Structure 1
Amino acid sequence: MDSNQHNNNHTNGEKRLRALFDLNIAIMEVINSDLPLNATLEAILEEIRKKIPYTHGAIFLPDEKGNLEMIASKGYPETLKGKKFSKGIIKYVYNNGNAVYEPEFKDTPWDSKPYKPELVEFYPEMNSVLVIPLGKYGVFELFSDKKNAFGADAIDSLMLNSYILALVIQNVKLREIESKTKDELIKSRERERNHILELTSRLYLKIENIDPYSARHSPRVAYYAKEIAREMGFDEDYQIKIYNAALLHDIGKCEIERSVRESPQKFSKADNPIKLPHVTKGEEILKFYGLENYPFISDAIKYHHEWYDGDSRGYLRRLKGEQIPLVARIIAVADVYEALTSDRPYRKAFSKPHAIKHIMKRAGTHFDPKVVKAFVNVMRKETLQDLVDTLAFLIKRFSSVSEQKP
């Protein structure tokens, strides 16, 4: 790769990262309002429309029978709100957890597909449809009258924000329960979730502004950590928590001098001026922002460099085995794999098979064998061909989207 191509790739990557988090911040502003669920989702659809133009958009939530109800929409008549769907493309996406993108669906041979867009009969002028799952909370769907309306940047951004949108739905539902029950415990939990979510976004922007490498590295670590947790059987709430924690695991590097962070020198384990200080600096940042008592984030920052066998190469505490919190054991694997498969100033990136072999050899010494087993299963299932150059959330269930990009 010549220098011009490298610079273009770097610039494009930064633009994609900025576009992605611009939408994230816009959604965060909506979250902090006291709007009811329907109005919150309508406002989020409007923010999406400002960043990613579409003709019709809707969010569907499941009812107690598993039907999908149109809760919020833009571009559709009000009479469609409340309509329930028990089949079609949105039901397919909800049941299978796979995003679907049909960039030219007028020319699509629907008889060969396991689904068909139900709403297209009302709007025959539509040409593109994108449907993305929100886990157990439903799906959101965007239509456009243009062919190939949604490019790679738009799809990447929506994939990331689908996790946040699911959390929004969960939080707003909790808020509505609180207003009915007046239960102070539920209110406290909601405030805690919103507080963590807000501070996570704020601290990530700090990373983005100060440490470009970590701004690219941390979302990919978060992706791997979330997928490992999913493979280990943890629920969506745990996955979201570990994702947020992994985003901030290297926050302490923001307090390390840039000349040291970006040094081309490969430091020895004994005199590394980054590793030990970034853990202690991270703890200081946690205390400053009042996050030291949130175990997911605190444990991720403090313990993600501990060795499973208690070897002295781990630090600061030289914990061993299950003394190391699970969140840190999971992030340790994700962190090392992502670092190995990225170019560094002092070496080229490992190939993915080489990096996986490196991780597997260290099961029981550096890494928890159970976490390594889950990681290897993730690697077997996922197609991650473009992950290093993009943003970290292209997983196999969205591979059909990637294959149909123009």
Structure 2
Amino acid sequence: MPLPLYPPFPRTRSFLVQTSRFTYSQFLETMPDAALVIEPSGNIVLANTQAHTVFAYQPGRLPGHSLQTLVPNLNEQLGNFLISARTRPLGTGQILTAQRQNGHEFQADMMLKPIELDGAHFIVCVVRDVTQRLQGKRAREELLGRTMMECYPGIEQTELFAALKRCMETRTSERMVNKFVYPDNSYGWFELSIQPAPNGICILSNEITERLLSEKRIETQLRQLAALRDIDIAITGTFDLHVSLNTVMLHTMAELGADATSILVLNQHNLMLTLAAGRGFRTRSPETARIRLGESFAGRAALERRIIQIHNRAEEQVEPHFAELWAAEGFVTYYGVPLIVKGQVVGVLEVFHRKPFEADEDWLRFLEILAGQTAIAVDNAQLFQNLQRSNVDLMLAYDATIEGWSRALDLRDKETEGHTLRVTEMTERLARAMGISEAEIVHIRRGALLHDIGKMGVPDSILLKPDKLTEEEWAIMRQHPQLAFEMLSPIAFLRPALDIPGCHHEKWDGTGYPRGLKGEQIPLAARLFAVVDVWDALRSDRPYRAAWPEEKVLAHIRSLSGTHFDPKAVEVFMKVLGEQTPVASSTESPPTP
């Protein structure tokens, strides 16, 4: 039924002149309630943003509709009020039933006020939704005259009832925070002030749900920030992936309330996900899992690059791997999030619950943050492993090159073939017996392999001469330690190995060459090697002499202890050989090396 019109109004439309319309629209936007401007015919010509919100219309869609669309049966509810054209303010007591665009009804208090603008007559209609206020009023009315036990069955078992009872008996005041559960199982927190009153008590209640939830949210965020800090320290403090992932899992279970969690790492070569770390599992089943990219829920999370959520067993039964795992572990919910770093998937973080669980937005956001941290940990560890592998390959290549050089020297001088590897092995044994670290032994080995590298600068006519050398030829031969130093010192990684090539012909008493170093001026590695070099040379055949017997060699070495050799080096050498009893000194002169 259309709205009755006012008594005849002029049909001027000056109100709708652009300036007036814009100005009045701005005024309506300042109003906190829904505000409409309607023509006498009932058509809406203006509506503020709050009106669109209250009646659930898209912005700008209310003008052109009839007021009766918003308030069905308007005539029946207000009688002849509109025809009488008098103001009806808010709160006059009559509540109307209004209707939103989706058909849902609500209780509304409506102000109607005739206005005249630019000679045209209109009605300003202000609407306020009072549904919750009326519900609260009805709830209060229902409580009046009833006991607390009638209104809240079981309240006598609560701390609130005990506090009320104490206040009644002792006539003292109390303050407390109480959790109230509503009929729909939602809940709120209230701060209660209980005061004695004549013939009873007075309870002042202040709802603090929002405040407590905000405090709880802040506490959670602070705890999560601390967890992320711990994870950052673990990632930056070690390249041990096991340590980093254990820290991630510890905080994942604590902050997300998970019963179990696992971290799967993707092998980029065969595209298989395998377990890198797990916590909270009752069985060892996850340890043997090998999941291909795109298969199972973890494989889907990695392939599709999105969180996979499982909340029902029907969906779980589709995957045989999960069916077995869930049956053994008793899981009911699952979340799998891909680990992505630098645009590349490196694994999957899985979270399991044994009780029904529905994640909220904050929970999922923190899960994604943890996944990001986990991805960084995996990527850092893999980069470090690759770097280590590259370093090992490089070191092996260096050592292979050095051994190649040493073999080239042996091939040049057939009489000393095999000498280099023998003296290198024995020198390493002596170094270990002296307690030298393995890191230093690496350089000792390289120096031993290259001890005669300087002979590459000695002419074949001298190096391969079958007879004894002349003094002039010896002068050239004695240059090979200096030549070795000049050849190797420009190579940075061989500088720590220069002690043996440059000093292995120095003597304890200072009569050696090339620099005439004496005693402990001679590097320890060179002192050890000098003993081994002479020992192996005397035990080998030369063009100008036959090899000496072992006993004669050892006796000769002892005879040179304190002159040619470091006495401590000789002692250790004898122990390494298992020779501990004195051997008679040899009076024969050794062959010139």
Give the structure with the higher percent helix: 1
Taking structure 1 as the reference length, what is the TM-score of the superposition?
0.44
Give the structure with the higher percent strand: 2
Query: Structure with the greater relative contact order (CA < 8 A, sep ≥ 6): 1 or 2?
Result: 1
Taking structure 2 as the reference length, what is the TM-score of the superposition?
0.31
